[in-house]
């Protein structure tokens, strides 16, 4: 007769009863008390008048706290400035520092964080769109210029060959030199040809402006 299974079951029941008695003896959980000072309310008058009016307008249209739009607008302006503004902390030293601006939006779910950020950065997005359109137009013009240059070079080579066959060595040399001069004209940097002007300026900028929401 095997009595090991009933014995193990009884021991497990005893262990569960002891655990339940310990749980009943536990004190009630204490509420979490925040010892940090309260966050001061947002003061729009601390912003420049033009920026303050814009922030309040975005906050009103999105029905979101003005803090969200203010953080996004300030970080957007800092990103546009890039490394154009620098400071020299030492009076007799040429050591330069590029100020970095960090921003974070904190709020509960559905607090309109992302919409406020999107509309506050609307002008920045519009500038980027305009620069992209101009850049794409420049690419088309450059493609046409390259095609015309290729035709011109081909024609110059044919004319130089014709001049050389007719015995006019100087004319052939002049045509080839002009062809080489046109061929050596500086063009766009190939490594950055797929980037818009705004992205190229951001890539070469040492300012690390960051913004996020949580």
pTM for the whole structure: 0.55
Residue with the bigger pLDDT between 156 and 42: it is 42
Q: What is the mean pLDDT of residues 11-19?
A: 75
Alpha-carbon distance of 154 to 139, in angstroms, equals 23
pLDDT at position 122: 92
Cβ(44)–Cβ(56) under 8 Å?
yes
Q: What is the mean pLDDT of the chain?
A: 77
Helix or strand run (H / E) with residue 61 = helix 49-62
pLDDT at position 156: 75
**Own/partner pairs for 185-189, CB < 8 Å, 24+ apart?**
185/149, 187/142, 187/146, 188/142
Residues 58-78: b if buried by 16+ CB within 10 A, e if exposed: bbeebebbbbbbbbbbbbbbb
Say which range, 105-114, 119-128, 191-200, has the weakest mean pLDDT.
Answer: 191-200
Angle formed at CA 68 by CA 63 and CA 69, multiple of 5 degrees? 80
pLDDT of 23 > 60? The answer is yes
Q: What is the mean pLDDT of residues 117-146?
A: 90
26-30, 130-134, 142-146, 201-205, range with greatest mean pLDDT? 130-134
Cβ(89)–Cβ(97) under 8 Å?
yes
Alpha-carbon distance of 102 to 117, in angstroms, equals 14
Domain positions in the chain are: 44-123, 129-185+196-205
Q: What is the mean pLDDT of residues 111-129?
A: 91
Residue with the bigger pLDDT between 166 and 209: it is 166
Query: How is the chain split among helix, strand and coil, in percent rounded to 5?
Result: 60, 5, 35
pLDDT of 186 > 60? The answer is no
pLDDT of 108 > 80? The answer is yes
Q: Which residue has tokens 């950065």? A: 121
Could you write out the DSSP letters of every residue in 131-161?
Answer: HHHHHHHHHHHHHHHHHHHHHHHHHHHHHHH
* C-alpha separations of 28 from 17, 22, 24, 76 in Å: 20, 13, 10, 48
Tell me the per-residue pLDDT of 26-80, one tens digit each, with 9 for 90 and over.
777 888 888 888 888 888 888 988 899 999 999 999 999 999 999 999 999 888 8
């Amino acid at each position: 007769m095997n009595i090991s299974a009933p014995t193990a079951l009884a021991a497990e029941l005893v262990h569960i009863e002891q655990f339940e008695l310990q749980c009943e003896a536990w004190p009630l959980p204490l509420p979490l008390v925040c010892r940090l000072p309260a966050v001061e309310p947002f003061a729009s008058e601390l912003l420049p008048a033009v920026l303050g009016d814009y922030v309040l307008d975005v906050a009103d249209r999105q029905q979101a706290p003005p803090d969200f739009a203010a953080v996004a607008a300030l970080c957007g302006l800092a990103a546009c400035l890039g490394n154009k503004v620098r400071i020299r902390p030492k009076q007799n030293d040429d050591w330069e520092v590029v100020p970095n601006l960090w921003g974070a939006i904190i709020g509960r779910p559905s607090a309109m964080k992302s919409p406020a950020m999107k509309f506050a950065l609307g002008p920045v997005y519009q500038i980027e769109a305009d620069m992209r359109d101009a850049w794409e137009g420049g690419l088309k013009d450059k493609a046409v210029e390259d095609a015309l240059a290729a035709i011109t070079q081909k024609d110059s080579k044919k004319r130089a060959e014709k001049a050389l066959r007719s015995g006019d060595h100087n004319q052939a040399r002049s045509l080839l030199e002009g062809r080489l001069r046109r061929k050596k004209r500086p063009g766009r940097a190939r490594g950055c040809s797929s980037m818009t002007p705004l992205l190229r300026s951001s890539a070469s900028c040492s300012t690390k402006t960051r913004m996020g929401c949580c």
